[in-house]
Amino acid sequence: MAEIKLKAADGSGEFSAYVVAPAKQDAGAVVVIQEIFGVNDSLKETCQDIADMGFFAIAPDLFWRQEPGVNLSDKTKAEWDKAFALMNGFDQDKGVEDLKTTLEAARDYPGANGKVGTIGFCLGGRLAVMMATRSDADVNVSYYGVMLDKLVPEFENISAPLMLHIAEKDEFASADVIEAVLDGVEDNDYVDAFVYPDVQHAFARVGGVHFDKRAAVIANGRTAEILADILD
C-alpha cells in the first residue's frame, strides 16, 4: 500500500489518494469512492479486497478541501454527526473533478494496463453514477447510492457499463426513489440494476451495523465479474 499526491484540476491545491497494488502487473485499476466517513479503515479494507482480486485500488481523499485525512466509523452519534456535516459541506461537482484527476492518474499508474473503473458506496455510490454520466471511465459500480433519482436526467449520457446495487429497505432511498431510478434505467442497455430484498443501506459495508453477508457476497460477486470482464 502507498499514498500518492495529486494536483487538483482547479489549481486549488493537492490531495492524497490511498493505493493498494495487486500481486500481478499489467492490471486494471479501480478508483474506490468513499462514503461520508472518509477514506476510513473499512474503505481501506475494501481496497485490499479489490487488490486481492487482481486490480489496483486507488481511493482519493474527497473531503480534503474541508478536512484532510477523515477516518470515521458508523459506530457513534458523534461520528455520524461529523460525517453528515462533511457531506453537507461537500461540493459534489468538485468531487467529480477530483475523481477525474484520479482516474487519469490510475490510467498511467506504474504497472497498470490503462483500463480504469470506479466503485463507490453511499455518497460514493452517487458519485460513481456521476462518473458514469460525466467521465470516460470504462466501467462504474454504485452501491446504495444516495439521491440517484435526481440524476435520472443525466442517464442518457451513460456510454459505458454501469452496475447499480440497491437496498430494498434503504433508509436513505424511499420506494418511490428506487422506482424512479429503475424506471430511468429500464431502457438503457449500459445499465444493470439489482435490488437486494430485505436489506438496509450499507449492507456491504464490512463491519458495518447493517452488514448482510448473503447480499454482500452476491453483490460483490457481480461486481468482481463485471470488473474482470472489462478491466482485464
Q: Verify whether residue 74 is a known catalytic residue.
A: no
Catalytic residue among 165, 201, 210, 212: 201
Rounded to an integer, what distance in angstroms lies between the CA atom of residue 78 and that of residue 171?
Answer: 19
Q: Verify whether residue 201 is a known catalytic residue.
A: yes
Rounded to an integer, what distance in angstroms lies between the CA atom of residue 24 and that of residue 213?
Answer: 28
Catalytic residue among 98, 138, 149, 170: 170
Point out the residues that are catalytic. 170, 201
